[in-house]
Structures are given as structure tokens and as C-alpha cells.
Amino acid sequence: MLETVALIASTAGNLFLSLLVITKNRRNISYWFFSALTLSLAIWPVVNYLSIHSHTNQLLYIRIVMLFVCFMNLSFFCLAAAFPRQRVRFQPWQVGVIIYGLAAALLMLTPYVFTGVVIGPDGLPSPTPGPGIIFFMLDLVGVAGSGFYLLVRHRRRVQGLERSQLGVIIFASAFLYIFSVSFNFIVPIGLHVVSAVSFGPIFTVFFAGCMAYAIVRQRLFDIRRVVARSVSYILLLIFLAVVYAVGAQALGRLLLGNLAQESQDTMVFNAILAIILALTFQPLRHFFEYITDSIFYRNRYVSQVVLSEFSSILVRENDLGTLVKSSLKTICGGLSISHGQLYILDKGRVYLVEHYGALPKRMIVAPQLEHLSKSIIVADELDGGETKTLLEDHDLRFSAMLRTRDEVVGYLLLGDKLSGEIYSNQDIEVLGIMAKELAVAISNAKAYTEIQAFAQTLQERVNHATGRLRVANRHLKELDQAKDEFLSLASHQLRTPLTTIKGYLSMIIEGDAGKLNKLQREFAQYALDGSDRMVRLITDLLDVSRMSAGRFIIQPNTADINEIVASEVKQLQSHAEAKGITLSLVAPPAPLPPVTLDENKTRQVIMNFIDNAIYYTEKGSVTVILSIKGGNFRVEVRDTGMGVPADAQKHLFSKFFRANNAQKSRPDGTGLGLFLAKRVIEDQGGTVIFSSTEGKGSIFGFEMPLVKPTIKTKPKVRA
């Protein structure tokens, strides 16, 4: 009975491992060699059983047993040479070992190894060794021994998890070879105790158990998830087979009794049983998955779900402190880690430290972080050394350097998993992705914090500068108000003596002081004209002062625009003749109807346009045109003078502005005439007309409604 159980367990266990490993990664040569080894271990017990209990071809089965032993040796050697690489290039001596192993395996099928079989008193076969048995011993010692040599040498060169995996492989293989060789060859051949051969499969069960332990606890071949799912389904199938088989028989006898043999009742019963099977399959499957997960994955999680939640935090948070705290909490909570720390660096110095879980007894200081120079470090994969001692002294099991393309921005340090397990490949892969994303997010958050600080500093400076500007603006307003008050006072004070001067000059010209000769009259007229210009200048200054004070008022009344224009042209006729310029008026065919406007201010505008045209025209003519256009009347003053430069035209109606050519021609101008003219016209609902070409003349004028005007809020200059 024990022999049968050992045979089934050995064959099933090793065949199961062989299929799982090869289906996991067919591109890795190490997986192929391990699969070949376990497949040989699965077939060897079956052939070994047949060599003992078969009544025919016993010698053939014994030779096949020897063949599979040689294949086991060869597979073991190749696995030792390749583990854990995906590809391997055998050295010349290793190629020689492989060739010898293949030759020895083929030699096992010839009569040179075992020449015959002798059946003992107990009915068990005892093989008769031949001269070729020495080649088998050389194969066992040379090929298998070389495999152990390679494994031991490789284990000395590696550290951490891979060293532990190699330790399990060496221990399990040594146990298998020592006891298998003892019970299958030394005892039967040397001591002639053939019954000891029956115990051989037991040691292959131990080997399969050790490999299963390495797969589950040490991530050997990274097939733990496959093992967990497979064990789950095997348990489910065994449960269903036993429970439903026993249940079917018991229920059949209970419900059907002697009628159980009737086909119709049997069909109904099987249909009911199938329905029960279908309804309970999924709950049972989940139950067994839960059982296996509690063994293989005590704290299982879905990588994509954890990464998605982690990424959402990185996208949502801009504040560095909140980002670091939320990220560390998600990492430790999602992967069931007891505690962790995040060290944030700025120019190589610790800038911020965040904790999760219980604080460790000792904290890592900045100089010690330099020892964690690798991207990812797992303490359980290290075999001693300063780095492992550093991590263990601070209750840490995992370290990830947070590095961007330009700098190291921090370190992620994690403690033990709550399950007590070591960090799995899934954990390391997920944490590696998180570390890369977190490094970029921390760099962006630091930049955002710097921008915020800069913006705050800039805002403070702007507020300070704005305050100074407000003070300066207030002072300017005070100065402007003082200037307006001065202009108003000065203008009022100047008008009184000018009125006296104009009065006496008029009396002199009219002969009240005696008859004047031609030259005296001419000089007196010049003085009177100068006084008039002075009066107009004072009037302009007063108007500007009133505008600034908000006291500039339009007083519309009914007026005759025909008479206003004609009288202004007539009044300036002598001034034009004195310069040798033709001044003419082009009136409409029929007089315009009365209009509503401020007569005095409008006269001042018309006089200003005509006077400027005469003054800035050296030769040629000045033409004043009165016309009607639609519902508006238009007054235009056209001259053939110097014109206005193109770059000065947009500033022409500004206060105190004068073009360069005008300043040279008339240095005593103020730049107030056009400014006031524009304001007077627009305040009456009109539009200023202006166009000019430097060197060819200008057109100044305005257009106003014939009916009572509506004041415009945004007057425009029409060219």
C-alpha cells in the first residue's frame, strides 16, 4: 500500500511541477532543464515499479530505469549550468560532459550494463551487472557530481534570494541522490536486498516537496500564482469527485431504493444531481481559491487597482506635503506594509520626511542614505553586508531610490509586510512602477511649490510697488490740481490788464489819441493782434482748467451756422492777405437752417482751424467749405500747407502735443487748440474731421447734426 501511494504521489507531483514550469516560460532554458528533470523523476518511479512487479520484460524495464537515471543526471547538470539564466553558452568541458551523458544513457539499453536477471526466492528480480556498469558509475559521479559542483560554485558568487533558492535545490538534490543511489543501487546490487528498490519513489516525493517550498516561499521560477490556482482546482475536483460520487450513491439508494436500476428514474436523478453540481460549482471554486490564497497569498491585491488609486493621487495633488503623505499611505495600505518612510531631498539635503505606521526605534540620517545607491534594494535578497545591516538596524526591508532624469529627489523606505512574507515579484514590480511615477510627481510638486513661493514674493513686490504708485499718483493729482488752480488764477489775473491794453490800442488805431501815420498804425495793429492771441491763449488755458475741474459746460442755443462761418472767414481775411495767401469760402447753394450749438465755443473752434491753416501755409490757399450731408452739416478747412507727419497724426489731438515741423515753424504754440476743438465738438455730439499728407496740406473740420444733438459717450475722429 505504501509503495502504491508513494508511486502515485511521486509521479503526480513531479509531472505537475514539470508541466507548470514549462508552461510558465518556454523561452527560458532553465525552465526547460528543470521540466526535463522533474519529468524524468515522474517517469522513473513508474518504470521502476514495472521492473519489480512485471512478470515479463523485467530486464528491459531495468535497462529503461537506468536510461532515465542517466537522463536525470544530464538534466540536473544542464540545470546547474544554466540556472537562473534564460540563455546559456556551455563551455567546452561542459559540452564534453553532456556528450558523455548522452552516450552513457544510450549505453544503458545494451547488454553491457546488465547482462541478465536472476529471480530470487522472494520473486523479485536481481540484475546481473556487466562490464558496462562502470560507465554508469562514471555517469553518476561525473555528470551529477559536476552539476553539484556548478551549483555550489554559483551559490558562492550570488547573494540574497537567489542564494537561498540554490540552497534549497542543492539540499533537495543531494537528499534525492544519496538515498536513491543507496536504496536503488548500493543495497540491491551490493547487499542483494532487491526489496529496497521499492522505497526509491519516496525520495522523489521529498524532492518535489522541497521544490514546492522554494516555489511558494522563495519565488522559484515565479510560478507561485499558477501553483495556487492549480492546487485550488485539484482540491475542487477531488472534493467534487468524492462528495458527488458518495452522495450520488447514498441519495440514489435512499430515494430510489430498489427502483435505482430503472433507467427513467436514474435519468431524472442524474439530471437533478447535474443541476445541483452546476449551482454549487462557482461557490465551491471561490471557497477553495480563498483557502489556497490564504496559504500562498495571505494578503493578495490587484496590481492595477492599487496603481490606479496611486496614480489618481499623483494627478490630483499639487501640494508636496499632501502628495507625500497620501502616496505613502496608499503604498503601505495597498501592499499591506506595516510602516514606511519617504525622504524628500533638495540639492542633496533632506528637505522633508514623512512617516506611516509606527515610528522605528532608529531613523536613517542623510549620510546613511548614500549607501542605498541602487534603484531597488530588497533586504531579504542580500547576503549580509553593510547595506543589509543598515536596513535591518532600522527595521526596513525595502528601499527604492526616487530618481528623475536630472537628480535624486528622495528615497522610499518600507518595513515588513503584515503577512510576514518576503517581498514578492509582484510587490517589487508594483513598487518599481510607483517609485518612477512618484519621483516625477515629487519633482513637479517641488516646482509647483517654488512657483507658488515666487508668485507670493512677486505679489508682495507688486503690492509694494502699487502702494508707491498710489502715493505718487496722489501727489501727481495734487500737483495737477495745483497747476490747474494756478492756471485759472493766472488767467483771470492776466485778462484784466490785457483788456485794458486792447482798449487803448483800439482807441489809438481809431485816432482818439491823434492822427497816426501808416507805419504807426501798422505797429499798433500788430500789438492789437498780439493781444488778441494772448486773450485766446488765456481762454484756452481757462477751458483746460475747467475741463480738469469738471466745470467745462456746453451752453447750446439756436444759431446761424452760415453767418458764423462767414464772419470768421471775414475776420481772418486780413491775416491771410498779409501772408499772401488766398482765403475763400465755399457756401452751400441754399443757406442752411438754424442749428443748435454753443456759438461762442464753436466760433472759437472754426477760428482755430482757419488760423492754423493760414499760419502753417507758406504759399497757396486756404478754403473753408460749408456743406450738408444727410442729416448733418459739415465745416471743412482745407489748406496747401506743410501737413502733419504720419507718425504724429495719432497724437495730434492730445493735450500739449505738437508735431516736430509745427514746433519749428511756430515755436510759441501751446498744443491746446486742437485738444480743445475736439472736446468742444464731441461734447456737442459731433465728430472731428481730419486728414493730412506731409508737404501737401491738411483738412481740419467737424460734422454735427442739424437737429438738437445727443451727447456721445465715445466720440471718434473721422479721417
Distances (CA, A) of 4 to 49, 110, 155: 9, 30, 37
Ramachandran category for residue 87: left, alpha or beta (phi over 0 → left; psi -120 to 50 → alpha): beta
Distances (CA, A) of 669 to 164, 472, 534, 614, 630: 102, 30, 11, 14, 36
pLDDT at site 57: 81
pLDDT at site 292: 56
pLDDT at site 414: 92
pLDDT at site 700: 93
Name residues of the chain where pLDDT drops below 50: 259-262, 297, 709-719
pLDDT at site 719: 37
Distances (CA, A) of 456 to 445, 452, 466: 16, 6, 15
pLDDT at site 275: 58
Q: Is CATH 3.40.50 the right assignment for the domain spanning 2-222?
A: no
Task: Give the whole-angstrom CA distance, residue 459 versus residue 494.
Answer: 51
pLDDT at site 373: 83
Q: Is 704 helix (H, G, I), strand (E, B) or coil?
A: strand
pLDDT at site 715: 44
Delimit the CATH 3.30.565.10 region(s) of the chain.
Answer: 555-718
Delimit the CATH 1.20.1070 region(s) of the chain.
Answer: 2-222
Phi and psi for 300 in degrees, rounded to 5?
-70, 145
**What is the chain's alpha carbon radius of gyration, rounded to the nearest angstrom?**
56
Angle at 711 between CA 707 and CA 713, to 5 degrees: 145
pLDDT at site 206: 74
Angle at 366 between CA 365 and CA 369, to 5 degrees: 95
pLDDT at site 80: 85
Cβ(118)–Cβ(128) under 8 Å?
Answer: yes
Delimit the CATH 3.30.450.40 region(s) of the chain.
Answer: 303-453
Phi and psi for 696 in degrees, rounded to 5?
-125, -5
Of 8, 430, 38, 43, residue with least CA distance to 221: 38
pLDDT at site 125: 74
Cβ(552)–Cβ(601) under 8 Å?
Answer: no
Pinpoint the alpha helices (H) of 556-651: 561-571, 573-579, 599-615
pLDDT at site 698: 92
Task: Give the whole-angstrom CA distance, residue 486 versus residue 440.
Answer: 67
Q: Topology of 555-718 in CATH?
A: Heat Shock Protein 90 (3.30.565)
Give the CATH number of domain 303-453: 3.30.450.40
Name the maximum alpha-carbon separation found in the chain: 182
Q: Taken in order 437, 438, 444, 448, is the CA torsion positive or negative?
A: positive
pLDDT at site 291: 61
DSSP state of 88: -
